[in-house]
Chains A and B, each alone.
Chain A
Amino acid sequence: EVQLQESGPGLVKPSQSLSLTCSVTGYSITSSYRWNWIRKFPGNKLEWMGYINSAGSTNYNPSLKSRISITRDTSKNQFFLQVNSVTTEDTATYYCARSLITTRFAYWGQGTLVTVSS
């Protein structure tokens, strides 16, 4: 069964970059599907951030497009999120998730809390 697991620093300073890793087991990220990042803010709002597909193409939420990058390491079956110039408003729980072409998110990681604070 496919499993996803997020990892990365839990605390980031304002104006710095946030970098997270999603490690995938049980399925190759180059075989199919889209591999997404989603975040949940303290007020419970969920925001889709973007994805990288099995061919390596990306699609980002326009609200974040200038600040984020999603990349991958196929040898390690991992994909990554980088958010630049973070502010306190980027404080959230970050999830990685797998989606079909219909973009329903059937598999999720456990989530990792990232706090932006000096």
Chain B
Amino acid sequence: EAGVTQFPSHSVIEKGQTVTLRCDPISGHDNLYWYRRVMGKEIKFLLHFVKESKQDESGMPNNRFLAERTGGTYSTLKVQPAELEDSGVYFCASSQGWGRGNEQFFGPGTRLTVL
């Protein structure tokens, strides 16, 4: 069974440009999460989808970030316009259910560099 996949693995863009990250969860997992690690700090939660609905987006830093999960399958995270402080590694995770007893499976991450 394929794990969580993310594309691209690495993206280098200039400040002010737009970047779209993609995450494909494990097949059958209704729950999809985005996290990021920026500036060498701890990994932090961004948001949580249940199918196509946003269950919790309390971690989204500002309105330059837009996450979508049309059809409840793959998800995209768009950063527009990108700023220098957005550089870091963006992780996606998925789980079958959520809450107690549900392991989150993480993808390999997308390393974003904003110059």
Q: Do A and B come from one complex?
A: no
> A-contacting residues of B (Cβ < 8 Å)?
none
